[in-house]
A and B are shown apart, each in its own frame.
Chain A
Amino acid sequence: MLPELDVLLRVAMSLTRNSADAEDLVQDTLVRAYGAVERFDGRYPRAWLLTIMRNAQVNRVRRRRPELLRDPEAGDRILESQTPHDSAEQDALRDAFDAAVEDALEALPDKFKRVVRLVDLDGLSYQEAADVLGVPIGTVMSRLHRARHRIRDRLDDADLLTRRAR
C-alpha cells in the first residue's frame, strides 16, 4: 500500500488540520488496512484506504469525545463539525483574490467546506471524496457545486469579478 501514502497524508491533513494528528491518522489507517487486507478484493485500493481512513478518523474523535459513543449518527456530525485552525502557511503574501476566495471558503457551512477541501485542495475525485465522507457521489457533486457558486457570488458581491464574467 506504499504508493498511496502521500495521498493518505494529504487527506489526513484535511481531516485533522494538524501534521502530528495527520501522521497518527495515517498510521492508524495503515494498521487497520493491514488487519483487513484479507478481505480486500484488490480493486480500487485508494478508495478502500480512504474509506478505512474515514472510519479511523470517526473513531479517533469518538475516543476523545466518549459521549458520542452511544450516538449512531455521530460520525457524520464529527466529520462536519471539526473547526480547522490556521496553519502557519500565511507567511506568503496573498493577493486580494486569494484572500477573498479563502474568506468565502471559510464562510461556507462545514459540510460544503469539507467537500471543497477534498476535491480542490487535495485533488480527490468525486468518488474518492464520497468515500472519505461516507456520502453518495451525488451529494458530493451537489455540495461542491453549490459551494463554488457561493464562493463566486461572494466574489461578485465584493466586486472582484469586475473584469471577469458575472
Chain B
Amino acid sequence: MNLFRRGAVADRPLSCHQVGKILQSFLDAELDEITTDKVAEHLEDCRRCGMAADVYLEIKASLGRDAPAVPEESLPRLEEFARRLTAGEEGET
C-alpha cells in the first residue's frame, strides 16, 4: 500500500494523524517500503505515537502467545495423505 504519490508530499514528514491512520498496517508489515520508512521515522521522533505503537505491538505479541498449538502429530499424516493423493492412491474422503 503506497499512500503517497511521488513528489513533494512524499518528502514531507508524516503528521500524527496520518500515522494514526496507517499505524496498524505498518505493524502488520502491509505497507510499501517507502511508507514503512516514513512511519518508522515518525515513530522514532514522536514519543506519543511511538508509545501507541508499542502498546499495539504488545497486544499483537500477546495475541500471538494465545495461538492454539498446531497439532504437530497431524503434519506427517497430512504429508503422507498429500503424497498418496498426488500418487493417485487416495480417493474421495
A126 touches B63 (CB 8 A): no
Please give the residue numbers on chain B whose beta carbons come within 8 Å of chain A beta carbons, in ascending order: 24-25, 28, 30, 48, 50-52, 54-56, 58-60, 62-71, 74-75, 77-79, 81-83, 85-86, 90, 92-93
B66 touches A101 (CB 8 A): yes
Please give the residue numbers on chain A whose beta carbons come within 8 Å of chain B beta carbons, in ascending order: 1-2, 5-6, 9-10, 13-14, 17, 19, 22-24, 26-28, 30-31, 34, 87, 89, 94, 97-98, 101-102, 105, 116, 119-123, 125-126, 141, 144-145, 148, 151-152, 155, 161, 164-165
With a cutoff of 8 Å between Cβ atoms, the chain A residues found around residue B63 in the complex are: 101, 105, 116, 120-121
Question: When A1-B82, A2-B82, A9-B78 are in contact, do A122 and B67 touch as well, CB less than 8 Å?
Answer: yes
Question: When A9-B74, A97-B62 are in contact, do A126 and B82 touch as well, CB less than 8 Å?
Answer: no
Distance A14 CA – B67 CA, assembled complex (angstroms): 8
A97 touches B85 (CB 8 A): no
Question: When A31-B93, A126-B28, A141-B25 are in contact, do A148 and B59 touch as well, CB less than 8 Å?
Answer: yes
Distance A26 CA – B28 CA, assembled complex (angstroms): 26
Distance A67 CA – B56 CA, assembled complex (angstroms): 41
With a cutoff of 8 Å between Cβ atoms, the chain B residues found around residue A145 in the complex are: 24
Distance A22 CA – B72 CA, assembled complex (angstroms): 12
Distance A144 CA – B23 CA, assembled complex (angstroms): 12
With a cutoff of 8 Å between Cβ atoms, the chain A residues found around residue B81 in the complex are: 27, 30
With a cutoff of 8 Å between Cβ atoms, the chain A residues found around residue B65 in the complex are: 94, 98
With a cutoff of 8 Å between Cβ atoms, the chain B residues found around residue A122 in the complex are: 67
Shortest B33–chain A CB gap in Å is 16
Shortest B27–chain A CB gap in Å is 9
With a cutoff of 8 Å between Cβ atoms, the chain A residues found around residue B54 in the complex are: 164-165
Distance A151 CA – B52 CA, assembled complex (angstroms): 13
B75 touches A9 (CB 8 A): yes
Shortest A45–chain B CB gap in Å is 13
A89 touches B68 (CB 8 A): yes
Distance A143 CA – B48 CA, assembled complex (angstroms): 24
Specify the chain B residue showing the minimal Cβ separation from A26: B78
Specify the chain B residue showing the minimal Cβ separation from A120: B63
A9 touches B70 (CB 8 A): yes
Q: Which 7 A-B pairs have the closest CB atoms?
A: A165-B51, A19-B71, A120-B63, A121-B67, A101-B62, A23-B74, A165-B52
Distance A95 CA – B52 CA, assembled complex (angstroms): 21
